[in-house]
Amino acid sequence: MALHFKNRQIVVPGDLLAEGAYKPGDGTFREGNRIYSSVVGLAEVKGKIVQVVAFEGAYTPKAGDVVIGKVVDVKMTSWRIDIKSPYQAIMHPVNVFERRLDPLKDDLRRYFDVGDTLVAKIMSFDRTRAPLLTTKERGLGKLQGGYLVKMLPTKIPRLIGRRGSMINMIKKETGCQIIIGQNGIVWVSGKSFEDEERVIKAIRQIEREAHTSGLTDRVRDLIHK
């Protein structure tokens, strides 16, 4: 039983991480009793689990995630929504309205049309079927106004910070409303363009420097500059 890395060391695909009684976590794979890294990222060990926090990567839908997406197609009884992942999401009216919808009388376009931006929650996803979305909770639904900022989905946890420390700081310092989609799309709306621009700059810095320490303080400095 041995670890072959220092905590938070940068590793690349194929690097040997651990041998023996460890368990492979995200960003790793097992061959025999050895665990290797499968991505470029920071290696960590949590108890018995060895994992690599990837620097880059596409968004893989996960049930329970709040995402921001764009309506790309309206069918008779469903919406197709692009959530910037390899799999297009589907949303059915039962997961939007309390009442039943009559597809002969009701036109789905009256509620969400092609091009509309939505905040929605992923109900289920298992790689064999398209992810299903719902807007049946508080704070979910159509977005109006504001800015959409795209960032790497792998850096979203850093934007939120430990128990929301980073994002709460940004909200407080700039007075902007911010909604984070786990798929790497962030909606920003503030009183003035300057406020919004400060948030966007902060997001860009977090994206670039996510793997460094003392980031919250540097972002605060940037906002006040």
Partner 1 sequence: MEEIQGNSQIRLLTEDNLRLDGRKLDELRPIKLEVGVLSRADGSAYIEQGKSKILAAVYGPRELHPRHLAQPDEALLQCIYRMATFSVDERKSPAPSRRETELSKVITESLAPAVFLKYFPRASIDVYIQVIQADGGTRCSSITAASLALADAGIPLRDLVAACAAGKIDGKIALDLSDIEDKNGQADLPVAIMPRKKLTTLLQMDGFMTKEEFIEAYELAVKGCQKIYEMQREVLIQKYINIQDEVSEESSEQNRGG
The nearer residue to partner 1, 4 or 142, going by C-beta atoms, is: 4
Q: Which of residues 73-92 bind partner 1 (CB under 8 A)?
A: 86-88
> For the window 109-128, what string marks contact with partner 1 as x by the rule CB under 8 A?
------------------xx
Exposed/middle/buried for 194, CB within 10 Å: 0-12, 13-18, 19+? exposed
- The one segment of 38-46, 96-104, 106-114, 185-193 that binds partner 1 by CB under 8 A: 38-46
Q: Which of 100, 103, 13, 3 has its CA nearest to residue 55?
A: 13
Lookup result for tokens 């977090």: 206
The nearer residue to partner 1, 107 or 221, going by C-beta atoms, is: 221
Gyration radius of the chain's alpha carbons:
20
**Is residue 14 close enough to count as binding partner 1 by CB under 8 A?**
yes
Task: Count Cα neighbours of 85 within 13 Å in the Cβ-side half-sphere.
Answer: 26
Tell me phi and psi for residue 220, to 5 degrees: -60, -45
Q: How many residues bind partner 1 (CB under 8 A)?
A: 29
Other C-beta atoms within 10 Å of 150: how many? 14
Beta strands in 92-159 (DSSP E): 117-124, 132-134, 141-142, 147-150
> For the window 142-171, what string marks contact with partner 1 as x by the rule CB under 8 A?
------------x-----------------
**Is residue 29 close enough to count as binding partner 1 by CB under 8 A?**
yes
The nearer residue to partner 1, 86 or 175, going by C-beta atoms, is: 86
Contact 99, 93 (CB under 8 A): no
Task: Count Cα neighbours of 146 within 13 Å in the Cβ-side half-sphere.
Answer: 21
**Is residue 39 close enough to count as binding partner 1 by CB under 8 A?**
yes
**Is residue 10 close enough to count as binding partner 1 by CB under 8 A?**
yes
Q: Which of residues 42-71 bind partner 1 (CB under 8 A)?
A: 54-58
Residues contributing to the site for partner 1 (CB under 8 A): 10, 12-14, 16, 27, 29, 36, 38-40, 54-58, 86-88, 127-128, 154, 208-209, 211-212, 214, 218, 221
